[in-house]
């Protein structure tokens, strides 16, 4: 008798739960489309095509870098969206070397597309954000690390899933503090990106109490691109001689010389920065917190390993999907408001859920520290605290931000 009554009450409870869930799905949030109406969420990925790499590049960027990550995310968005009557589409806009992204998306804007994930240089990402702003469009920066995009040149409709140079430099600095490798020899190349990364390293060293004991410009050319020793090797071997440093930090975003420094200094020196031990958003050896499943799904779909730009495009597209699911809307302003609200968080397989900083729309995320075939650590490092989130120990905090563009409402 007791077993029969218990079974009756359990069955009744399950039926009540099913009815409650069904009611929530039917009702949805205020202003949401009814379930019998198909909600269309159109996303566009914009990037320049990668020219063929010269023979000396061992690991060239693959075709479709970035787009492959967005494509995987759209498939995952569709899994949940299918239950809610949502249809996600992804369009790939591949630009030639001299193509203007604003001109390339005009036809799509005329068709009502308002959501763009881009792997573009900083100036082009900024121009696209300005071009789509009058019609309420949103742009998600999945590549450019420039801090000015999160600072003086920020835009209210420009979100960032690519980590900034400040975040990458802070992640490396925290690791050096924990290891007590406090004396840095900073070696920077001639490129504009090299100068910006070197500046980020200087700011991080000051922030975390490290000391740059010497700075050296690299003047020996792109020796890392040569596949044999050059006549300048003797000079390159001795450029660090007599400098009391724990580690060499290199700023070489073009991969011209950073790899050449490893094991070629006259005295044994560790190397980090853009080569050696590198801070990065993603790495093939990262398998914790379910990352192995994401890695495997990507390999099955693309027949190659996921790279940082792929991951950053995946995060951007998944964020759009989460916001569309939560708001049951494709309206960019509703999506933007939700992404900047305390209600948004996204599992990105790095231990802590990600969210967007409302003051500059930069994604809060942990940063991996890796060498080519091994994951060494992750930042924030233990012991680095923040009153809001330990992830805010990486990059520019709200009180230091030069971003004046506030959240827009329509």
Distance CA 24, CA 28 (A): 6
268-286 per-position pLDDT tens digit: 999 999 999 999 999 999 9
Contact partners, residue 165, CB within 8 Å, separation at least 6: 145, 146, 147, 196, 197, 200
Residue (of 249, 283, 314, 357) closest to 76 by Cα position: 314
| DSSP-assigned states of every residue in 176-199 | HHHHT--EEEEEE-SSHHHHHHHH
CATH superfamily of 166-279: Response regulator (3.40.50.2300)
Distance CA 327, CA 342 (A): 14
Q: Does domain 39-162+283-365 have CATH number 3.40.50.2300?
A: yes
Distance CA 174, CA 273 (A): 13
296 and 349 Cβ atoms separated by less than 8 Å: no
181 and 157 Cβ atoms separated by less than 8 Å: no
| CATH code 3.40.50.2300 region(s) in the chain | 39-162+283-365, 166-279
Distance CA 141, CA 100 (A): 16
How confident is the prediction along the chain (410 residues), in pLDDT tens digits per residue?
Answer: 434 443 433 344 344 433 333 444 444 444 455 555 789 999 999 999 987 777 777 788 899 999 999 999 999 999 888 889 999 999 999 999 999 999 999 999 999 999 999 999 999 999 999 999 999 999 999 999 999 999 999 999 999 999 999 999 999 999 999 999 999 999 999 999 999 999 999 999 999 999 999 999 999 888 888 766 554 566 777 888 999 999 999 999 999 999 999 998 988 999 999 999 999 999 999 999 999 999 999 999 999 999 999 999 999 999 999 999 999 999 999 999 999 999 999 999 999 999 999 999 999 999 999 999 999 999 999 988 776 888 999 999 999 999 998 765 44
46-74 per-position pLDDT tens digit: 999 987 777 777 788 899 999 999 999 99
323-381 per-position pLDDT tens digit: 999 999 999 999 999 999 999 999 999 999 999 999 999 999 999 999 999 999 999 99
136 and 155 Cβ atoms separated by less than 8 Å: no
Contact partners, residue 284, CB within 8 Å, separation at least 6: 295, 305, 306
Q: Which residue has the tokens 């305390």?
A: 342
> Could you tell me the CA-to-CA distances from 401 to 66, 108, 118, 154, 336 in Å, in that order?
28, 34, 23, 10, 20
């Amino acid at each position: 008798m007791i077993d029969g009554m218990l079974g009756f009450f359990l069955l009744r409870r399950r039926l009540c739960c099913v009815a409650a869930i069904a009611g929530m799905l039917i009702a949805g949030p205020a202003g949401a489309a009814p379930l019998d109406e198909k909600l269309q969420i159109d996303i566009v990925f914009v990037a320049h095509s990668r020219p063929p790499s010269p023979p000396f590049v061992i690991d060239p960027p693959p075709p479709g870098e970035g787009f492959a990550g967005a494509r995987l995310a759209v498939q995952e968005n569709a899994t949940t969206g299918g239950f809610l009557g949502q249809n996600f589409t992804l369009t790939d806009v591949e630009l030639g070397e001299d193509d203007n992204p604003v001109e390339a998306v005009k036809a799509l804007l005329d068709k009502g597309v308002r959501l763009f994930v881009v792997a573009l240089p900083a100036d082009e990402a900024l121009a696209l954000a300005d071009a789509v702003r009058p019609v309420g469009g949103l742009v998600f920066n999945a590549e450019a690390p420039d801090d000015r995009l999160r600072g003086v040149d920020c835009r209210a409709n420009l979100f960032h899933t690519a980590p900034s140079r400040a975040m990458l430099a802070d992640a490396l600095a925290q690791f050096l503090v924990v290891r007590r490798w406090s004396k840095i020899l900073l070696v920077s190349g001639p490129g504009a990106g090299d100068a910006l990364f070197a500046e980020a390293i200087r700011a991080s060293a000051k922030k975390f109490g490290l000391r740059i004991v010497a700075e050296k410009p690299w003047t020996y050319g792109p020796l890392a691109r040569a596949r044999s020793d050059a006549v300048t090797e003797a000079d390159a071997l001795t450029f660090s001689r007599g400098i009391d440093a724990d580690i060499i930090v290199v700023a070489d975003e073009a991969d011209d010389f950073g790899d050449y420094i490893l094991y070629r200094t006259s005295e044994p020196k560790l190397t980090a920065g853009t080569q050696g031990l590198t801070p990065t958003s993603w790495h093939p050896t990262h398998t914790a917190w379910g990352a192995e499943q994401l890695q495997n799904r990507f390999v099955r779909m693309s027949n190659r390993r996921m790279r940082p730009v792929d991951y950053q495009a995946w995060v951007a597209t998944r964020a759009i999907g989460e916001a569309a699911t939560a708001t049951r809307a494709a309206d960019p302003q509703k999506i933007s408001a939700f992404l900047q609200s305390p209600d948004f968080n996204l599992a990105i397989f790095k231990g802590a859920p990600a969210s967007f900083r409302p003051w500059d729309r930069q994604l809060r995320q942990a940063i991996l520290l890796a060498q080519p075939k091994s994951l060494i650590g992750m930042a924030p490092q233990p012991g680095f605290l923040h009153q809001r989130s330990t992830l805010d120990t990486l990059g520019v905090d709200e009180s230091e931000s030069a971003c004046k563009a506030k959240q827009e409402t329509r």
